[in-house]
């Protein structure tokens, strides 16, 4: 999957919406909006970093030698 392509944006929006709603609806603290936004942004950033690492090794022409 291409980083910051159409599929990545769609998955990021879905991830943000799910994490935001889970944290906003399930929290009864006074700062629930801030906590929900921070958690949702952190989830999307973590997803992007994971996809970047996954995509980086996908087209590797020289794999490690004797990898067992």
pLDDT digits (tens, 9 = 90+) for 12-62: 999 999 999 999 998 888 999 999 999 999 999 999 998 888 777 666 666
pTM reported for the whole predicted model = 0.75
Q: Is residue 66 part of a domain?
A: no
**Is position 21 within any domain?**
yes
Q: How far apart are CA 32 and CA 41, in angstroms?
A: 14
If one counts the domains in the chain, the total is 1
Indicate whether 68 belongs to any domain.
no
Q: Is the pLDDT of residue 7 over 70?
A: yes
pLDDT at 68 over 60: no
Domain ranges, residue 16: 6-59
Residue 55 confidence (pLDDT): 75
How many C-beta neighbours within 10 Å does residue 36 have? 19
């Amino acid at each position: 999957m291409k980083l910051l392509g159409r599929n990545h944006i769609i998955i990021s929006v879905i991830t943000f919406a799910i994490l935001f709603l889970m944290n906003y609806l399930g929290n009864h603290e006074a700062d629930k909006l801030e906590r929900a936004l921070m958690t949702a942004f952190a989830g999307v950033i973590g997803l992007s970093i994971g996809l970047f690492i996954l995509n980086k090794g996908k087209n590797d022409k020289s794999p490690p030698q004797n990898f067992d």
